[in-house]
Structure 1
């Protein structure tokens, strides 16, 4: 998804990427040419950041076999969390408040309206949690307290939610027409993969593919430059953390396009020479650890 770029000093990381992978402009041009050939979905949600959260969360709820986003669910009471999971097609495995977020997916097909309700509620939880995360170590407890006192915050602004629902229908129709099957073919889904002890977080790990979901525009060079650094970072850090990663991918929802690359081949192409992915990942990890700590978005 398109997220806010965190305003922490990134010059050292960007300089490292420019030196380690000098042929990034070649990939940027290839992606730009590819996306220009794609039919663009005419969606114009009022709050693009909120819309991006909704789309990513809906995909996670639809893809994962076990209920994802436990940190968001822990911001809710067990009854509400269970209702949202049920809307998203999960069946709680165990009774009791301690395990309300432990569930497995049911077989019946999802109803898009129910999925939107669950995803949009969790998106509002995420936005509130992210605000507390910037300042407090007990962000989950604070978020839960606020939502208990002000439950209307879960619903967001009525007009914004209505317009977002309309845009979501358009994206979900495209996603369900074949892209979902392609993503499922990559393997079991893990949502919100924490990397490097939480310094970074990938949207998904599908089998051995690191996937980033982008719901906004990618029609300018600086968007693509950031995207390339982002997906390379996630793939290299996932390898550094011991995950078996063979591919990295981007699902550009606005362009109805799924891009997927073998990590070794792509890294060698961008570097202009064969490289050691393990050593490269360790070098990047050390560099990121030296940057000011940023909290991953929930």
Structure 2
């Protein structure tokens, strides 16, 4: 019997990051120590990917002053968009206006149950939109048509939604205990920041801080290694795109920790020597542009 072995090639971007920043194990060790400082939230949602979408979207709806996530809301009719935004604490800025573009935050007090409803609906839109985006160039019209024909898809599976709501209550209680106020001090929030013409998307830009939200496990090295690659990539691309970025941060909801690092100090430490952020960001951008594009609708 013959055996064939397939050699798995390392992703070129991952290989470049490993070569450019060979001291990433220092940050991994620091993160590991920080994540052990607080009790881990005991949440066990049935679909961890869906739960992650819900938490991220809820945080975006809570942080942004102007209605976020246009690719998602543009898949919904104006009436439903207005209802969801109202539940999330937004109101039209023009009397009688309806829809996405006219909504701004009306006040800080939003009921968590209402916020969960809005975020969970948008999570289902995002999942459907991303699925179409993998196969079609006109993902948004396809998503809108399917939701018009099958509106029940917005609600998801009842049991999954119920169990996700329970896990969300636990996380949101922790988030509201001080993390929301801390994130607000970083500056105005932009959610789902497109980078390099949409080749990558950062969860948030808060003032001059690029923020990544993680709702899942970070108790093994490969989870942390992936996270470190993400924050380095997003921060360098944001700098390359002309955003004034001074810090990178991670909000690990499960571990109740908010970690924040100065970008220049972090990159110099992980590189082992001072680096030029502009030149390094341009090199990374060129490498990503040379690869097949990762399509992501939202």
Task: Quickly name the TM-score band, shorter chain normalised.
Answer: over 0.9
Distance 1:102 1:40 in 2: 39
Match of 2:16 in 1: 16
TM-score by length of 1: 0.95
Asked whether the equivalents of residues 81 and 101 of structure 1 are also in contact (C-alpha less than 8 Å), the reply is no
Match of 2:283 in 1: 283
1:67 equivalenced with 2:32 (yes/no) = no
Q: CA deviation at 1:93?
A: 2.1
Asked whether the equivalents of residues 209 and 246 of structure 2 are also in contact (C-alpha less than 8 Å), the reply is yes
Distance 1:157 1:101 in 2: 30
Match of 1:129 in 2: 129
Q: Would the alpha carbon gap of residues 114 and 214 (structure 1) be closer, same or farther in structure 2, given more than 3 Å must change?
A: same
Asked whether the equivalents of residues 201 and 234 of structure 1 are also in contact (C-alpha less than 8 Å), the reply is yes
Match of 1:239 in 2: 239
Match of 2:267 in 1: 267
Match of 2:3 in 1: none
Q: CA deviation at 1:10?
A: 5.6
Asked whether the equivalents of residues 67 and 100 of structure 2 are also in contact (C-alpha less than 8 Å), the reply is no
Distance 2:118 2:93 in 1: 19
Asked whether the equivalents of residues 125 and 154 of structure 2 are also in contact (C-alpha less than 8 Å), the reply is yes
- Give the secondary structure class of the aligned counterpart of 1:249: strand
Distance 1:41 1:16 in 2: 35
- Give the secondary structure class of the aligned counterpart of 1:205: strand
Structure 1: unaligned runs, 5 residues or longer: 1-7
Deviations 1:195-217, CA, capped at 9 Å, x for gaps? 00100000000000000000000
Match of 1:148 in 2: 148
Question: What is the CA RMSD across the aligned residues, in angstroms?
Answer: 1.3
- Give the secondary structure class of the aligned counterpart of 2:295: coil
Larger Rg computed on CA atoms:
2
Deviations 1:209-256, CA, capped at 9 Å, x for gaps? 000000000000000001001000000000000000000000000000
Alignment of 1:106-117 (within 5 A): 106-117=106-117
Residues paired across the two proteins, number: 290
Structure 2: unaligned runs, 5 residues or longer: 1-7
Match of 2:221 in 1: 221
Q: CA deviation at 1:102?
A: 2.4
Match of 1:179 in 2: 179
Asked whether the equivalents of residues 116 and 165 of structure 2 are also in contact (C-alpha less than 8 Å), the reply is yes
Match of 2:201 in 1: 201
Distance 1:291 1:111 in 2: 44
TM-score by length of 2: 0.95
Match of 1:76 in 2: 76
Deviations 1:105-157, CA, capped at 9 Å, x for gaps? 01250100000000000000000000001111111111010000000000000
Distance 1:106 1:198 in 2: 30
Asked whether the equivalents of residues 209 and 247 of structure 1 are also in contact (C-alpha less than 8 Å), the reply is yes
Match of 1:5 in 2: none
Distance 1:245 1:9 in 2: 32
Distance 2:179 2:282 in 1: 33
Distance 1:10 1:141 in 2: 36
Could you list the runs of 4 or more consecutive aligned residues of structure 1 that deviate by over 3 angstroms after TM superposition?
Answer: 94-97
